[in-house]
Structure 1
Amino acid sequence: MPIFKIGKKIFYFAHVPKCGGSNVEVALMNSGVKLSFIDRQYWKKAPDKWGRSSPQHILSKQFYYLFDDKLFDEIFCVVRDPVNRFLSAYNHNRKRIGRNVSFDKFIKSIEKRKDYHSLKYDNHFVPASRIVPNNSKIFYLEDGLDSISYWLKEITDTDIDLSFDNRNTRDYNVHKSKKKINVFFKKIFFPQSPTLSDIGESEINRIKSLYQEDYERFDFQR
């Protein structure tokens, strides 16, 4: 959840994992904005990590413990449909999950845990409603990240280029390769992740049940 300043305004970006947050951070840095409370090398620092999650992925209850929200002029976030976010997070963490753990088995493991494996996967599977502070301005990934650019321009008169494609919207299959031999070995040694069209209605409904609070708070259609 990076903190940054543009002009006289102090911003808090509630980074919900797998909702385009890294793209927002890169765009800000490319525009010369300095970010604080962020660790983009978090996974590489064990056992010297600052905490049990990266600073940019802290929960809202931790945010309120650490900060007075009146410190910030603007608090904002990007959210997305929970099913698509779950698939993206599953793809991102596939090697950590283990290639022998089926999609169904992993969903079951989430269903059994109230913490959504928060510590193990850096809050990637925690509902967005537990990450986003109550008074946040909400943007939706489905609407494109350009809406953030327009908003920042309006309130700070600063141009932040967020027009590039969001990598979180790609298909969640084994990486494509021009060489058939590479495709063969990747299919054997690298775990594959499903796309939305690969999973059944029952699995989709189970994911929706897990993220009921997100559907209610952010008014996603179920």
Structure 2
Amino acid sequence: MTLDVVAVLFPNVTQLDLTGPVQVFSRLPGARVHLAWRDDAPVLTDVGFSIVPTVSFEDAPQADVLLVPGGQGAFDLLEDESALDFVRRQARGAQCVTSVCTGAFVLGAAGLLTGRRATTHWASHAMLELLGAIPERARVVRDGPVITGGGVTAGIDMALSVAAELYDPETARSAQLALEYDPQPPFDAGRPDRPEADPAQVRETISATHSRREQAVRRAAERLVG
């Protein structure tokens, strides 16, 4: 079996949104991972180091699995018709169309979440509805061929779920074991509803996130119905 994973790379991507699931996919038998952007120049991530694309939009193979990570840079793609067109074209032939974190908004702006259940990072979750999605609070949400992961680290869970579906649970478990993916965080503060999460931080983060991103999402929503 050959599995072509095409991941969209873009400036200011949250690198773990990309590298977490890519690390899982790279462990699958016959998997080939392609990092797609406009050209082959290094792309700066949100943590200050760059990742080099392996293929251009023009030369990317048809994806079996399409992966769209998130980050603040994802919101720049909402008004980037060439990137959105690439996502649409790839999605038409993919077995699985996936996103991590706010990569879901790119899928939404491409018209791929209309009427579908989806998830994203908790701070941006409510805005999914603006793009016609049905927001669902879960680590991983599947609706047809579209599989969305929650915030950042949920990308690993999403990739393991895809691995179990496209291969089998044994292959997914083998990848999990090889990566020693056995989360045991020192604090119970990983979601807003967890007992050690700071309510003030939750409120401030949601407010700041909506202030920074909502207008871009609304403009994308207007183009969907325009």
Task: Give the TM-score normalised by structure 1.
Answer: 0.39
Larger strand proportion, structure 1 or 2?
A: 2
For the pair shown, the structure with the greater C-alpha radius of gyration is 1
Task: Give the TM-score normalised by structure 2.
Answer: 0.38
- Higher RCO, Cα 8 Å, sep 6+: 1
